[in-house]
Structure 1
Amino acid sequence: MESPPSSTQGQPVRLPLLDGLRMLAAVGVVLFHIPAMRAQVPFFNRTYLLVDLFFLLSGFVLTLSAEPRLRATLATAAFLRRRFARFWPVMAIGTTLGALVFAMNAPLGQIGILTVFALLMVPFPNTSGAPIFPLNGPQWSLFWELVANALHGLLLKRLNDRGLLLLALACGSALAAAVTAHDACDFGAVGSTWWLAALRIGWSYTMGCWFARRWLQGPPPALAPWWLALALPVLATCALPLLPLSRGMGDAILVILVYPPLFRIVIAARPPAGMKRPLEYLGTLSFPLYGIHVPVILAFRAIGETLAMGLAGLITALLLSALIARYDALIRMQLGRIRDALSRSRRARERAVT
């Protein structure tokens, strides 16, 4: 969910268009979670699929920024700790907001247990249609990103380009079969289908890694103006409900056949210099928005199941995201200092023992 600097031939690079795409995708997911919006504007009925675009983005960005260090000196465990630390402050805020919302109707003991699971980023086990992260539903995708990060450090970094592509195609084939059987690609959030999300991220994240490897060999030529490249994945997602396709067929075609080539168009496009800072700012808002929007929207739905309340929830989530983005880096810096202090203390104890 982030776009740190990467390098090619020793020169730092950043693709600000990915920040803009991340924000558009986050807003699309938010709009899907507003029932009144889906009822009145059918374009947003399938924007849950934009999560698969997030997985593509993560695989691409982390291959550029982290894979060279994973192959050299960065241990997988250290990589996972950094990823967990990156996610945790925003997820903790989302969990706290979710606990406050659920406290209106659920026993405090139950909320306490769910809060512990959520803060540890551990799914709450169930085999029903209940969410695996009841207090803050979007955490399911962050859980699977951590799984993909672990596999990146243990396996993906060792595969050559052909091996990556073969693994992605295997996951994509299994995903197509699962989507056909389920008649949708919306699995991952609830207990009955949570494990099938491994196929979603196995396909998209690994394809993102493959695109990054190809990009490092030489950025591809632009195929579309930057504004069109930015809009195409979201426009394709919004147009999907209007096509004469079954839900499962449409989901599979979009995620497996449409998103990858559109993503290739995005990573090749170059926005003008004047758009760099606005796009990067939108990128800083995207993760907080994704991480806290569900409990905010639920709070407004408790007031009324109307489009006005849904839009009020969206605006409130955007304002909170701007506030969180301002202090997120500071929070993570403090957590890093605490982590480093604990590490130094542990090493000192080990030296004292020996």
Structure 2
Amino acid sequence: MRGRVGSERFEALDAGRGVCALAVAFFHMPLAHPLQQQAWFPNLQFCVDVFFVLSGFVLLHAYGDRLASGRQVLRFVLMRFGRLWPLHALTLGLLVLIETVRFLYLSHHPDAPVATPPFGAAHRPVEIVTNLLFLQNFRTFGDYSWNFPSWSIAVEFWASIVLAATVLAAGPRARLAFVGLATASALALWWVSPRTLFVIQNWGIVRCLFDLFLGCLAYGLRDAVRLPRPAATRAEILAVLALPALVLMLPQGPLGYGASLVFAAAIALFSHQRGAVSGLARAQAPQCLGRWSFSIYLLHLPVIQVFTTAMHYVEQRTGLPHTVILGHDRYLDFGSGLANLAVAAALVAATVPLAALTYRFVERPSLAWFRRNDARLAAPAARAPACSAALVSR
């Protein structure tokens, strides 16, 4: 995650993004493992709020002082599109391919039992269009549509445009504007979802705006948490202990709104990278996970779809694994909680090397293409101060 050209790289925050991507992937695994029944398990959804807060922080760092004209905002929007859309379109295409294979198979085996019909609810062809336009979360069909984790990608794209317009109108240091918009978003979020921060369908954009502008505030106030190295180590250790405790202990309900404030403070702290925990986060393995985090986030659902489709086929012939209902959702059951937990972990692990491939062959080339074209767009303004496109966060 890079900021302005020549500025520091937020390597510690990159590592945190990777951990959150793995946590979200594990949360979505449709296995009847014992953690599914724990009261804290839904709190893994806070990882999405970490993504949103982090995006506000990094986008203001990378672009805040070069969104001074409509042309620069247009370039920003194109770069955001280039960062988010290509991998989103690829994973959507993979899911469409899976549904097509299911459709062709069932057309030749009409008596085969299926959990859901191909191209049924949440997989209708018309929804491909709304997904491609980043509109799947805006009161369109009401179901989790296709690659449903991509709802956050869609709302983040539109929210980042709101951020760019705010900076254009008020300037990158307009803290009062960020306070006002974060407060207004919080009140709107409270109005539409007074019981939980975890609103997704239809109102996810409000949740994203709330978190995004908290991230902008955290960036503006980061100097307040610039600590000497010994104190920074103590603060980072405290944060590393406090953040999991927040997930484990925070009850479901409106108190979740305060979690984003904690995330903003932790992001500001780790952005300075002055403590020993930041040093550990800058090791090779955490940095790889950080680079691959966007691919992990979007690719784990196609991995789940392939696995569940295969397991339903196996179930028809062997009776294993069983399908069970927990709450309102359907899960696979391999006979024991420990086996289910192991399968869930294995699926998350299997997503990682696939994510490394899509990062190498999709994310990097597509962003490089958009950067080259951004340079051409900037050519008429060659006499203006140079504004090289930064490799920004998810």
TM-score bucket (shorter structure): 0.7 to 0.9
Counterparts of 1:143-222 in structure 2 under 5 Å? 143-159=154-170, 160-180=174-194, 183-188=195-200, 190=201, 194=202, 196-215=203-222, 220-221=226-227
| CA distance in structure 1 between the partners assigned to 2:281 and 2:204 by the alignment | 38
Contact 2:84 2:153 in 1 (8 A): yes
When normalised by structure 1's length, the TM-score is 0.79
1:21 aligns with 2:16: yes
Moved over 6 A (4+): 338-344
| CA distance in structure 1 between the partners assigned to 2:272 and 2:369 by the alignment | 36
2:135 aligned counterpart, secondary structure: coil
1:64 aligns with 2:71: no
| CA distance in structure 1 between the partners assigned to 2:118 and 2:298 by the alignment | 22
| CA distance in structure 2 between the partners assigned to 1:59 and 1:213 by the alignment | 11
One-letter code aligned to 2:355 = S
Count the aligned residue pairs: 323
- Residue 240 of structure 2 is matched in structure 1 by 231
Counterparts of 1:1-354 in structure 2 under 5 Å? 3-6=1-4, 11-35=6-30, 36-37=32-33, 38-39=35-36, 43-71=40-68, 74-103=71-100, 104=102, 105-107=117-119, 111-123=124-136, 129-131=142-144, 134-159=145-170, 160-180=174-194, 183-188=195-200, 190=201, 194=202, 196-215=203-222, 220-221=226-227, 224-225=232-233, 228=237, 231-232=240-241, 234-240=243-249, 243=250, 245=251, 247-255=252-260, 257-270=261-274, 271-272=278-279, 275=282, 277-302=284-309, 303=311, 304=321, 305-306=332-333, 307=340, 308-327=342-361, 328-334=363-369
Once the 2 structures are TM-superposed, how far is the Cα of residue 201 of structure 1 from its aligned partner? Answer: 1.5
| CA distance in structure 1 between the partners assigned to 2:236 and 2:226 by the alignment | 17
Once the 2 structures are TM-superposed, how far is the Cα of residue 15 of structure 1 from its aligned partner? Answer: 1.4
CA RMSD of aligned residues (A): 3.2
- Residue 348 of structure 1 is matched in structure 2 by none
Unaligned runs of at least 5 residues, structure 2: 103-116, 312-320, 322-331, 334-339, 380-394
1:302-345 deviations in Å (ceiling 9; x for gaps): 3151424433321221121011112221233245557888999x
1:235-291 deviations in Å (ceiling 9; x for gaps): 144313xx5x3x223423323x43333333333443238925544322111000011
1:13 aligned counterpart, secondary structure: coil
Once the 2 structures are TM-superposed, how far is the Cα of residue 65 of structure 1 from its aligned partner? Answer: 0.5
Once the 2 structures are TM-superposed, how far is the Cα of residue 101 of structure 1 from its aligned partner? Answer: 3.2
Once the 2 structures are TM-superposed, how far is the Cα of residue 16 of structure 1 from its aligned partner? Answer: 0.6
Which moves more between the two structures, 277-286 or 56-65?
277-286
One-letter code aligned to 1:118 = N
| CA distance in structure 1 between the partners assigned to 2:238 and 2:119 by the alignment | 48
Contact 2:82 2:366 in 1 (8 A): no
| CA distance in structure 1 between the partners assigned to 2:210 and 2:53 by the alignment | 8
From the superposition, tell whether residues 184 and 276 of structure 1 become closer, same or farther in structure 2 (CA, over 3 Å).
same
| CA distance in structure 1 between the partners assigned to 2:371 and 2:268 by the alignment | 35
One-letter code aligned to 2:133 = L
1:140-161 deviations in Å (ceiling 9; x for gaps): 1111111112112212343311
More RCO (CA 8 Å, sep 6+): 2
Once the 2 structures are TM-superposed, how far is the Cα of residue 137 of structure 1 from its aligned partner? Answer: 0.7
Which moves more between the two structures, 202-211 or 259-268?
259-268
| CA distance in structure 2 between the partners assigned to 1:342 and 1:174 by the alignment | 37
From the superposition, tell whether residues 167 and 233 of structure 1 become closer, same or farther in structure 2 (CA, over 3 Å).
farther
From the superposition, tell whether residues 229 and 31 of structure 1 become closer, same or farther in structure 2 (CA, over 3 Å).
farther
Unaligned runs of at least 5 residues, structure 1: 345-354
When normalised by structure 2's length, the TM-score is 0.71
| CA distance in structure 2 between the partners assigned to 1:249 and 1:106 by the alignment | 38
Which moves more between the two structures, 46-55 or 116-125?
116-125
One-letter code aligned to 1:295 = P
Rg (Cα) greater in structure? 2
1:12 aligned counterpart, secondary structure: coil
Once the 2 structures are TM-superposed, how far is the Cα of residue 93 of structure 1 from its aligned partner? Answer: 2.0
